[in-house]
Chains A and B, each alone.
Chain A
Amino acid sequence: MKKNIPDSILDIIYAVLNDSQTESQEKQLETWLNEDAENRELFKEYLSLHQKIKSTRLKDGIDRKKAWKNIEKKVKKHDSYRIQFRNKLVKYAASLAILITLGAGLYVLVEKEQPPQKTSYDELITPRKNQALLTLSTGEVVEINKKIKKYFNEPNATIIKDDTNNYLQYRQANQQKQASAEPVYNTLTIPRSGKYKLILSDSTVVWLNSETTLKYPVSFTGKERMVQLEGEAYFEIAQNRETPFIVETNGMRIEATGTSFNVMAYSEDKKIEATLVEGRINVYTEDQHRNVEPGKQASFQREQKELSINSVNTSYYTSWVQGVFKFNNTRMREIAKRLHRWYDVNISFRDTIAPELRFTGVIDKNESIEKLFRVIEATDKVELTVKEKEVLVSKK
């Protein structure tokens, strides 16, 4: 242990820390500090100890809410176009309302019955289900619905449409031909609000979520089974150890032999996620490779090119397959993204806090958005203003 500070000096140090020292004490301390380096080290140690002790209590005294308000007020004038644009719209609407008031009493009554601030569900937004656009190898685009024919022929494969259970199934036509044949590709595109199921020629089952495109060969020929995904899909890979199944996304490649996993790779998102339910997958990025075990999620940050593996509750990532939204402490902005894709609504935020608020809950995806909004509003954290397909979220 180091030498001790003499009591007289200690008293001065405490006084200094407490801002109650006299001038002569200050001089005394200065002299002592200048005496030798060890004294200075001891002084530093005391300052550090004091600061550490104080820091544990300082946090309680910090008023973060007020602090952020102060900052926000100053920076808001810079935050020009979005908020101001909205304000202008409101102002414009207000002056329009005044004009109408002057013009005709009848309109005012109508207006009064539906105050614009209150949540109104003018157009009940209910998701349409099971929609898909199929691009055949000829380049022909077919909208999949009950009205069109039930079978399509592609080189080496037949496509069967099942209207009862809503899926497309690929059947390999001729086993002998396949080895030499050039692969022929189809593309299935799911628009916003849609969801569709696909059974590939190897019996692999793929559920495609809204705003998703999958490109795949009508029959698998080479040494690997390769598909290209943009958007979100859940895969149940038919087991085949010799020919690995590969999901190619813009930034990450997922390789499996027989497993179930979910891949989320929307091009507008910053990250790609592969969530493994069972089996085993390998993920590859430009320069990294990781092995993923069941219950884990590989997450790739596109910008930073960071690949990480985390333990997750997989049901939150696959719940859409069963037709439910499952949110677990999920940020409002993440929820907004999902709702935008499924209900085809545009969600914007009035303030900066609302998108960071977190929600937990489960809701049937076939419910109207109205019900979902009521549930979210019931938390009393946010207020939703709905006007046709525009939803404005503000903090309560």
Chain B
Amino acid sequence: MNQPGDDKERVSDESALKLCQRNYTEGLKILFDRYYNSLVIFSHAYTGRLEISEDIVQQIFIKFWENSHASNIHCSVKSFLFTSVRNASINYLNKNKTYQKILQNYLAENDIVNEDEEAIEDLELAKAVEEATNKLPQKCRQIFRLVIFEEMKYQEVAQYLGISINTVKTQLRRAYASLRKSLEHLLLFTLLLFF
């Protein structure tokens, strides 16, 4: 994903950390620009809630800033950020029973997302998902979008579209089966690399 010419503009994480240590918020801004999105998405895999994840990640950046002053960061900047976000997200799950116990137990021992910013920021993935969703029959696609992206409950979708809950379930099953097939190559890649 690196463009030629990117290198010379890119301030390394280590240099950004040094800036932070010298009290320059510019250093923190560089890391924020570089990792904020990825960290939020990473955290979201655990919390399932965007605003919670944004909170968590912001806290971690502040913690990072404070730690950088005390020279408490001994691993790479990236590992520090991702590990801290992961721990904070799992902590959140343990404290709040709003999200499911099953996912909780599962996520605590299995990372289902990787830390690689590029993989998460991957435009190809976004494109593939977009294409795959567009291939779904119209009704199926609509239901899928409402449930997955708009986060509506089955009941709400059924009411909204004037259909039965069973239809919602059937269509969703169909959508996932189709997406799984379309995105199989991407999934295999991920499974090989990160499990």
Contacts and interface: CB of A to CB of B under 8 A. Distances in A.
Q: Is the interface of B mostly helix, strand, loop or mixed?
A: helix
A59 B42 CA distance: 11
Interface string B107-148: 000101100000010000110011000000000000000011
A106 interface: no
B129 A26 contact: no
B7 A299 contact: yes
Contacts of B83: none
B191 A304 contact: no
Contacts of B148: 17-18, 50, 53-54
A20 B153 contact: yes
A21 interface: yes
B195 A29 contact: no
Contacts of A87: none
A100 interface: no
A29 B104 CA distance: 14
B172 A14 contact: yes
A75 B65 contact: yes
Interface string A174-206: 000000000000000000000000000000000
B102 A16 contact: yes
Contacts of A50: 148
Contacts, number: 167
Interface in A34-62: 43-59, 61-62
Nearest to B61: A71
A378 interface: no
A365 interface: no
Interface in B1-48: 4-5, 7-9, 12, 14-15, 23-26, 28-29, 32-33, 36-37, 40-41, 44-45, 48
A122 interface: no
Contact of B50 (A17, A62, A310): A62
A70 B103 CA distance: 30
Interface in A287-332: 297, 299, 301, 303-304, 306, 308, 310-312, 331
A72 B32 CA distance: 11
Contact of B29 (A16, A47, A49, A68): A68
A53 B102 contact: no
B36 A67 contact: yes
Given A55-B120, A62-B36, A299 B8 contact: yes
A26 B101 contact: yes
A26 B50 CA distance: 24
Nearest to B147: A18
Given A47-B106, A48-B112, A18 B153 contact: yes
B44 A75 contact: no
Interface stretch (A77-85, A154-162, A383-391): A77-85
A353 interface: yes
B5 A76 contact: no
B78 to A, nearest CB: 15
Interface in B55-86: 57-58, 61-62, 65-66, 69
A51 B113 contact: yes
B93 to A, nearest CB: 13
Given A45-B191, A49-B180, A310-B5, A78 B99 contact: no
Nearest to A10: B173
Given A14-B176, A55-B41, A304-B14, A48 B126 contact: no
A251 to B, nearest CB: 15
A48 B187 contact: yes
B96 interface: no
Given A43-B106, A62-B40, A79-B23, A311 B4 contact: yes
Given A62-B36, A67-B58, A79-B24, 12 more contacts: A18-B148, A19-B98, A19-B99, A46-B176, A46-B180, A52-B186, A58-B40, A59-B41, A78-B66, A304-B14, A306-B7, A352-B29
12 contacts: A26-B100, A26-B101, A29-B102, A30-B102, A46-B176, A48-B113, A56-B126, A57-B149, A63-B54, A303-B15, A352-B25, A355-B26
